[in-house]
């Protein structure tokens, strides 16, 4: 992927996290059937997690190596997780958790309106219109044409 | 023979299938062209909508999307200097300078014709080689499938990412995710933590949509403010003498594209870059220098990436090994429809094979029609603001994930994979190998265990079998060469040799 500097803020932390994750995965793989045989269900998971562990350790070592190279500029934390992503992640999480409660149509409409207003910054009426159009489009195409069942809200008892 | 022709013709004669393929190709062109939407994303979301459809309908639509999408990336590359898909990176290098000179129409026309030629060559290779490879693949045993799986994941990991270790990590993570659930051989739980919902395994469509839809949408949020420059488009149908002049190069590039596409793990993006490189080396005296809008540099990658489509179907249909991320998703679709891609596909369901070839032929022909028309409306749609597009991708991803089993829990899986995928992408890890690992992991696991059981659990017999059987030996050799070429060992060796020379030894 072009445009990213090879050294990023928090990359070492990320590698460490991957090491911890891989080690836990290895321990859990070992717990499946231990070292009791070479064709047991646990062997392949152990091989996979061991591979992950080794490559994660290699990556951390490479990172530490690169630290002292002059001119290896570190990008700021904001470039990996800027405010816009955090806000959108919160909106998405809220949307997905609200969907089983208030239904697909209502939750999608609210989510789309909020995200259009935040990302697109057009007058409210425009955002509202595009929201209405998008929800109608998704509903017609998927519910009517593709016959897909859309989540209905448990709170509103199938109203939406 | 008559059976082959009648199966080839199904998609051409049934009006509904004809419509689906054409609609798929047309929407594929837009999906490929709109920066922020990818063919992989569209296919993974579509699979969930089409899994209740008859197999033929679903295959017709997905084939169209794939064919159109690979081509569509070239349009935004030429008009906006933004490759709509990775396979159009080389196209942007030459196409955009042409557009700036006012030759956008000519560039689009030429890429369309050359893409179609490339596409036909790839399909011809699929139709002639797949039956041969398939009859050969029946000789493969479990060891060889294990090796093929490993080679596939490693190729995707090494060629697409920024570092070998990151590619390996991503592939192994995918394999691990694929292991979750009840072991198909012993029904023992793996990573289920006593949780019933984990016993069926991770819903891999949720993983696909999370990694390719949600994660990609989140990454796209970084580039919300890229300004779009509009280009003037005039004559589109290319001049005949241009087509004749570049036909030789297009044929050679299609050859490269087909072979690269057919290698497990490599797809259109690598084929396009290699063909571009070939054009640069083989064109002695270009009218316009490379990088400044040279037609040779436009023709070669476009012919190659569409030829790679037919090529990519070869390992997918004959060996059950997906060629790249898109075919990994399509193979998922085949599994969902109860098909078993592999050497037996052509033996047990030859009609489906010929149906797919027919659909590819139709999609490629549609490309010629759609590629040379509708540019004006096209530029409008492609300029759809990302602030509108990204929230819509999220909504579609949620619908798609839910549609598979009407289970809201899958949506949370999608979100989790989306967030993991986002951080992986930000730290330079590719998500393609993860999906390949998820799909190939269970296959590799069962083949490894079968091979080990075949060796009666004896490590030395197990290892000896890799050397003593010709097919296994060749595949092992390929794997070892791949691994060695990625490790510092080779560099050390060269360094050691050169320092020896300097010392006069």
Q: How many contacts (CB atoms, under 8 Å) link A and B?
A: 169
Say if residue A15 is in the same domain as residue A70: yes
CB contact under 8 A, A45 and B176: yes
* Confidence grade of residue B505 (pLDDT, cut at 50, 70, 90): very low
pLDDT tens string B145-160 = 899 888 888 877 776 5
State residue A5's pLDDT score: 42
State residue B383's pLDDT score: 72
- Please state the rounded mean pLDDT for residues B310-321: 88
Average pLDDT, chain A: 84
CB contact under 8 A, B445 and A44: yes
Domains: count for chain A: 2
Say if residue A72 is in the same domain as residue A86: no
| Percent of residues, chain B, with pLDDT higher than 70 | 93
Q: Residue B304: which of B259, B341, B369 has the closest Cα?
A: B259
CB contact under 8 A, A112 and B391: yes
Phi, psi of B66 (to 5 degrees): -60, -50
Residue scoring higher pLDDT (B375 or B290): B290
Q: Is A6 a domain residue?
A: no
Is pLDDT above 50 for A3? no
* Dist. CA B308–CA B125, nearest whole Å: 10
Domain boundary residue, one of A35, A50, A79? A79
Most confident range (mean pLDDT) of A64-73, B142-151, B285-294, B417-426 is B417-426
Which of A115-119, B84-88, B141-145, B366-370 has the weakest average pLDDT?
Answer: B84-88
* Dist. CA B501–CA B505, nearest whole Å: 6
Domain interval for residue A28: 11-79
- Please state the rounded mean pLDDT for residues B337-351: 84
- Please state the rounded mean pLDDT for residues B122-130: 94
The two beta strands, B181-182 and B189-190, are antiparallel
Residues in chain B with CB shorter than 8 Å from the CB of A149 are 402-403, 406
Q: What are the domain boundaries of chain B?
A: 2-141+205-402
The Cα of B101 is separated from the nearest Cα of chain A by a number of Å equal to 26
Q: Chain B residue with minimal CA distance to A148?
A: B403
CB contact under 8 A, A120 and B428: no
* Confidence grade of residue B128 (pLDDT, cut at 50, 70, 90): very high
State residue A73's pLDDT score: 47
Q: Is A152 a domain residue?
A: no
Q: Which of B395, B411, B445 sits opposite A112 (nearest CB)?
A: B395
Q: Is A97 a domain residue?
A: yes
The Cα of B471 is separated from the nearest Cα of chain A by a number of Å equal to 23
* Confidence grade of residue A2 (pLDDT, cut at 50, 70, 90): very low
Which ipTM value was assigned to this complex?
0.89
| CA A34 to each of CA A48, A128, B178: distance values in angstroms, whole numbers, following the listed order | 15, 58, 19
Q: Which of B172, B221, B448 sits opposite A84 (nearest CB)?
A: B221
Is pLDDT above 90 for A125? yes
Is pLDDT above 60 for B297? yes
Is pLDDT above 70 for B161? no
CB contact under 8 A, A99 and B398: yes
Is pLDDT above 80 for A7? no
Q: Chain B residue with minimal CA distance to A78?
A: B222
Is pLDDT above 80 for B286? yes
CB contact under 8 A, A119 and B186: no
Mutation site, A12, A31, A55, interface B, largest B CB count within 10 A: A55
The Cα of A129 is separated from the nearest Cα of chain B by a number of Å equal to 12
Which of A69-73, B127-131, B157-161, B331-335 has the weakest average pLDDT?
Answer: A69-73
Instruction: Count the residues in chain B.
Output: 505
Q: Which of B163, B190, B453 sits opposite A39 (nearest CB)?
A: B453
State residue A141's pLDDT score: 82
The Cα of A90 is separated from the nearest Cα of chain B by a number of Å equal to 11
State residue B329's pLDDT score: 84
Is pLDDT above 60 for A160? no
Q: Is A94 a domain residue?
A: yes
Mutation site, B399, B414, B418, interface A, largest A CB count within 10 A: B399
State residue B61's pLDDT score: 92
Q: What is the DSSP string of A43-97?
A: HHHHHHHHHHHHHHHHHHHHHHHHHTSTT-PPPPHHHHS-HHHHHHHHHHHHHHH
Is pLDDT above 80 for A65? no
Residues in chain B with CB shorter than 8 Å from the CB of A59 are 163, 165-166, 169
pLDDT tens string B90-106 = 888 888 888 888 888 88
Note the Cα A11 to chain centre separation in Å: 17
CB contact under 8 A, A149 and B419: no
* Confidence grade of residue A46 (pLDDT, cut at 50, 70, 90): very high
Q: Chain A residue with minimal CA distance to B430?
A: A1
- Please state the rounded mean pLDDT for residues B433-455: 89
Say if residue A31 is in the same domain as residue A64: yes
Average pLDDT, chain B: 86
Phi, psi of B189 (to 5 degrees): -75, 140
Which of A2-11, B159-168, B483-492 has the weakest average pLDDT?
Answer: A2-11
pLDDT tens string A94-106 = 999 999 889 899 9
* Confidence grade of residue B418 (pLDDT, cut at 50, 70, 90): very high
CB contact under 8 A, B390 and A104: no
- Please state the rounded mean pLDDT for residues B285-309: 90
Neighbouring CB atoms inside 10 A of A77's CB total: 11
The Cα of B155 is separated from the nearest Cα of chain A by a number of Å equal to 16
| Percent of residues, chain B, with pLDDT higher than 90 | 31
Domain boundary residue, one of A58, A79, A100? A79
- Whether chain B has a CB inside 8 Å of the CB on A121: the answer is yes
State residue B443's pLDDT score: 87
* Dist. CA B219–CA B426, nearest whole Å: 7
CB contact under 8 A, A41 and B186: yes
Which of A116-125, A150-159, B98-107 has the weakest average pLDDT?
Answer: A150-159
Q: Is A157 a domain residue?
A: no
* Confidence grade of residue B504 (pLDDT, cut at 50, 70, 90): low
- Whether chain B has a CB inside 8 Å of the CB on A116: the answer is yes
CB contact under 8 A, B444 and A14: no
A contact residues 8-27, partner B, Cβ 8 Å cutoff: 8, 11, 14, 18, 25
- Please state the rounded mean pLDDT for residues B123-131: 93
State residue A155's pLDDT score: 76
- Please state the rounded mean pLDDT for residues B129-150: 87
State residue A1's pLDDT score: 37
* Dist. CA B162–CA A6, nearest whole Å: 9
CB contact under 8 A, B165 and A59: yes
CB contact under 8 A, A44 and B388: no
- Please state the rounded mean pLDDT for residues B202-230: 81
Domain boundary residue, one of A79, A107, A137? A79
- Whether chain B has a CB inside 8 Å of the CB on A43: the answer is yes
Residue scoring higher pLDDT (B362 or B505): B362
Is pLDDT above 80 for B381? no
pLDDT tens string A13-38 = 899 999 999 999 999 999 988 888 88
Residues in chain A with CB shorter than 8 Å from the CB of B403 are 142, 146, 148-149
The Cα of A72 is separated from the nearest Cα of chain B by a number of Å equal to 15
Residue scoring higher pLDDT (B249 or B138): B249
Q: Helix or strand or coil: residue B190?
A: strand
Residues in chain A with CB shorter than 8 Å from the CB of B385 are 120
CB contact under 8 A, B172 and A48: yes
Q: Residue B447: left (phi > 0), alpha (psi -120 to 50), or beta?
A: alpha
Phi, psi of B190 (to 5 degrees): -125, 125
CB contact under 8 A, A52 and B444: no
Is pLDDT above 60 for B423? yes
* Confidence grade of residue A71 (pLDDT, cut at 50, 70, 90): very low
CB contact under 8 A, A92 and B214: yes
């Amino acid at each position: 992927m072009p445009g990213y500097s090879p050294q990023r803020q928090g990359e070492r932390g990320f590698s460490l996290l991957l090491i911890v994750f891989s080690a836990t995965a290895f321990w859990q793989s070992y717990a499946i059937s231990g070292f009791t045989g070479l064709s047991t269900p646990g062997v392949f998971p152990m091989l996979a997690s061991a591979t992950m562990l080794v490559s994660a350790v290699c990556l951390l070592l490479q990172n530490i190596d690169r630290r002292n190279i002059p001119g290896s500029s570190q990008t700021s934390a904001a470039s990996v997780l800027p405010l816009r992503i955090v806000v959108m992640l919160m909106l998405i999480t809220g949307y997905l958790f609200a969907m089983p409660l208030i239904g697909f149509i209502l939750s999608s409409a609210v989510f789309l309106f909020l995200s259009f207003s935040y990302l697109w910054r057009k007058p409210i009426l425009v955002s509202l219109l595009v929201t209405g159009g998008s929800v109608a489009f998704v509903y017609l195409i998927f519910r009517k044409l593709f016959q897909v069942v859309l989540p209905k809200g448990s709170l509103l008892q199938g109203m939406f | 023979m008559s059976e082959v022709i009648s199966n080839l013709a199904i998609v051409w004669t049934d009006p509904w299938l004809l419509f689906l393929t054409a609609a798929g190709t047309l929407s594929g062109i837009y999906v490929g062209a709109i920066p922020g939407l990818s063919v992989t994303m569209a296919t993974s979301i579509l699979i969930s909508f089409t899994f209740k459809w008859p197999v033929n309908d679903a295959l017709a639509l997905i084939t169209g999307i794939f064919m159109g999408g690979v081509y569509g990336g070239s349009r935004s590359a030429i008009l906006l200097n933004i490759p709509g898909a990775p396979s159009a990176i080389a196209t942007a290098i030459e196409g955009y300078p042409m557009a700036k000179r006012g030759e956008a129409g000519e560039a689009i026309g030429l890429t369309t014709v050359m893409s179609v030629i490339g596409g036909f060559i790839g399909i011809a290779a699929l139709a002639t080689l797949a039956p041969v490879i398939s009859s050969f693949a029946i000789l493969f045993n479990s060891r060889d499938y294990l090796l093929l799986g490993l080679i596939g994941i490693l190729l995707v990991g090494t060629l697409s990412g920024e570092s070998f270790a990151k590619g390996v990590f991503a592939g192994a993570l995918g394999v691990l995710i694929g292991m979750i659930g009840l072991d198909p051989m012993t029904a023992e739980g793996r990573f289920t933590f006593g949780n019933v919902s984990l016993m069926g395994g991770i819903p891999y469509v949720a993983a696909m949509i999370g990694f390719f839809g949600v994660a990609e949408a989140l990454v796209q949020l970084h580039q919300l403010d890229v300004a779009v420059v509009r280009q003037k488009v005039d004559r589109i149908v290319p001049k005949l003498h241009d087509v004749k002049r570049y036909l030789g190069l297009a044929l050679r590039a299609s050859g490269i594209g087909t072979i690269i596409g057919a290698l497990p793990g490599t797809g259109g993006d690598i084929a396009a870059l290699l063909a571009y490189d070939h054009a640069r080396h083989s064109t002695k005296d270009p009218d316009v220098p490379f990088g400044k809008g040279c037609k040779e540099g436009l023709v070669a990658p476009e012919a190659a990436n569409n030829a790679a489509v037919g090529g990519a179907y070869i390992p997918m249909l004959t060996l059950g090994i997906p060629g790249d991320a898109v075919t990994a998703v399509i193979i998922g679709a085949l599994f969902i429809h109860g098909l078993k891609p592999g050497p037996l596909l052509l033996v047990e369901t030859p009609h489906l094979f010929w149906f797919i070839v027919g659909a590819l032929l139709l999609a490629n022909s549609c490309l010629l029609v759609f590629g040379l028309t509708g540019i004006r409306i096209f530029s409008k749609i492609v300029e759809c603001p990302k602030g509108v597009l990204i929230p819509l991708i999220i909504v579609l991803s949620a619908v798609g994930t839910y549609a598979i089993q009407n289970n809201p829990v899958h949506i949370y899986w999608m979100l989790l994979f989306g967030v993991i995928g986002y951080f992986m992408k930000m730290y330079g890890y590719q998500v393609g190998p993860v999906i390949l690992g998820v799909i190939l992991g269970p296959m590799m696991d069962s083949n490894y265990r079968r091979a080990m059981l075949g060796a009666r659990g004896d490590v030395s017999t197990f290892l000896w079998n890799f050397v003593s059987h010709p097919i296994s030996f060749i595949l092992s050799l390929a794997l070892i060469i791949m691994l060695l070429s990625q490790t510092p060992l080779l560099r050390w060796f060269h360094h050691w040799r050169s320092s020896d020379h300097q010392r006069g030894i």
